[in-house]
Amino acid sequence: MDNGRLRTATTHDGVELLNLWALLFDEDNAAREDPWRSHAAEWFGRSVDDPSSVRFPVIEVGDAIVATAIGTLELGVPNPQCAKGRTVRLANVITLPGHRGRGYGTRLVLDVLDWARSIDADRVDLSATPEGRRLYEKLGFTTTSAPRMKLAL
Distance of CA 79 to the CA centre of its chain: 25
Q: What is the pLDDT of residue 148?
A: 80
pTM: 0.91
Q: What is the pLDDT of residue 145?
A: 84
Helix (H, G, I), strand (E, B) or coil at 77: coil
Q: What is the pLDDT of residue 149?
A: 83
Cβ neighbours for 33, distance < 8 A, ≥ 6 positions apart: none
Q: What is the pLDDT of residue 109?
A: 97
Q: How far apart are CA 36 and CA 46, in angstroms?
A: 15
Q: How far apart are CA 40 and CA 79, in angstroms?
A: 31
Helix (H, G, I), strand (E, B) or coil at 45: helix
User: 5-138: which CATH number, 3.40.50.10440, 3.40.190.10, 3.40.50.720, 3.40.630.30?
Assistant: 3.40.630.30
Q: What is the pLDDT of residue 140?
A: 95
- Pick out the chain residues at pLDDT < 70: 1-2, 26-33
Distance of CA 33 to the CA centre of its chain: 23
Q: What is the pLDDT of residue 32?
A: 61
pLDDT digits (tens, 9 = 90+) for 12-23: 999 999 999 998
Host H or E run for residue 57: strand 57-61
pLDDT digits (tens, 9 = 90+) for 89-110: 999 999 999 999 999 999 999 9
Q: How far apart are CA 34 and CA 30, in angstroms?
A: 10
Domain boundaries, the chain: 5-138
Q: What is the pLDDT of residue 55?
A: 98
